[in-house]
Structure 1
Amino acid sequence: MIEDVDHSPLLHLTTFGSEHRASHRKSSQSLQLDREIGAELFGILCKAFDFAATSAAGGDEARLIAAYRSNPELFRKLIENDEAAHDVVAMAHRRQQVDRFRRLLTDDDYFDSEVDASPGGAESIWQKFFEANPWIFGLSLGGQLLTSWDDRRLEQVVAGFSVSGVGKRVDALLRTSGRIRSMVFAEFKSHRTDLLSSKYRSGCWAPSHELSGAIAQAQGTVHRAVLDIGDRLQDKTSDGSDIPGRFTYLLRPRSYVVIGQLSEFIGEAGGEHQEQIRSFELFRRQLVEPEVVTFDELYARAEWLVSSPSASVE
């Protein structure tokens, strides 16, 4: 094997003639094969010697790899012009993101390394992750499709008649899709945040300080937004002018708190702690707003979306 001028591998074959010739043996003929030609030769050999039954899959893969490396731009154009191929690529990306979601939840060393590399701490890791993957919020939190208020970031400041300037900061500002759109708020903490604190009375466990604080924060954010903005917010263009007929409503807007994991309720022997489960479920189901969702519940929904045979890419 030798290298071409671009450092790609070449197979160099040389013949030296007969061993019985009078003169000293020397190279008489040479042939160099690159990856593309090698793949073609492999296909010819498979066909000539009936290797196709056992080697067709490997041969096809080798030829595809060689063709892609010889002209990757052409492959990209083919994919861009093929709607099905675009869906496959997009779904593959989402599966990769769900796998990263799983690692962030279950691999402590991986999550700690991400935190060490981020100046904002644990919550900023999730902030950035969900900003890069708004589809997880949009398809998982409710029955309606939720879209980010701003394509560039989920976190916004709610004040006055806009969502910029000094005001109440919300981790994720979204809105429903459809003819009538409504504003939706979300706050998220860390998957390591406790959902419950200590036992308050026999069989009753109190919500953790972080959970009750997050609920109060979400309720305050929604209340301030409704007071400042009113029932309806006019959509505007980049120059500040109104977009006719484009409004977002704030009529008892929905809100969510994403916090903790249900695995907190698994005991030392691997069994479920029924009193803790009952305390948590009764607490969150009696809340009018916000709705409390755990990180592992959000992950399970995202995993289902990319594993379901009927899953589609919006």
Structure 2
Amino acid sequence: MDTIFSRGPSLNSRLVLASVLSVLLIILDGKLDTFSTVRVYLNSLVSPLQYMANLPGEVLNQTARALTTQRQLLEDNAQLTRQNILMSEELQRFVVLEQENERLRTLLGSPVRPEVRKIVAELMAVDNNPYSHQIVINKGTLQGVFEGQPVLDDKGLVGQVMQVGTTTSRVLLIADVTHAVPVRILRNNVRLVASGSGQLNRLVINHVPHSTDIEPGDMLVSSGLGQVFPEGYPVGRIVDVIRDETRPFAIIRAVPAAQLDRLKYLLLLWPQDAPQGPVEQGEAVNAPGS
């Protein structure tokens, strides 16, 4: 068969000729920089192909970095939320202690109230019964949760645990009509009982004589009576004081300090005399040296 490769000089001659030309071109380019312009045009011509070849790998790298960044942000957000609610609990107590500082100067020699153990829980479900205000949280007996345990959010008291399962618990909110909290007015230490009204944004104070020193704007904090809720946590703020002399008692209404209609992260407290149990590693917070 007659092909184009069988015509002309032999293959060996062509190889020698190509080698000689290559050496000459290398020498000319090295000495005179003859082909610099040609290289620029060739690089410009090849660059789009290089970008296209690198594009799949770059897309995969960007996607992997985006997913890693998003996951890290979610983890950081959850960690910061836990830290925020823990610090909010500390701030609630410190604000009350600061406001009472002048009144308690004579008691500075008394033992300081011991730190309590605490963990952060997350809301899982809300009871859809319109006549009952209960929620379900993601902590149970495996974390040492017990019935009657006080529950807070970053603003104040939320309620208490009423039923405990292995990994979940049911919490009765302070707004439930069956719930009541012994409280005191922060301004003058008058002791009262705040009861649920059946509305998430309203508490009622029953059996208050007309002569009681109570005013709109007064802050209510837990009194510690009843040995259920620790002393000094915000419960609510007085909004209405109606002294109708035709009634035997004044009509007192308050709003909860906790945001009962937008709960997500909650704090479970262990009073010092409460039963001890296992707590998830990394979620318990203890006092230094405890």
Tell me the TM-score normalised to structure 2 length. 0.24
Larger RCO: Structure 1 or Structure 2 (Cα < 8 Å, ≥ 6 residues apart)? 2
Tell me the TM-score normalised to structure 1 length. 0.23
Larger Rg: 2
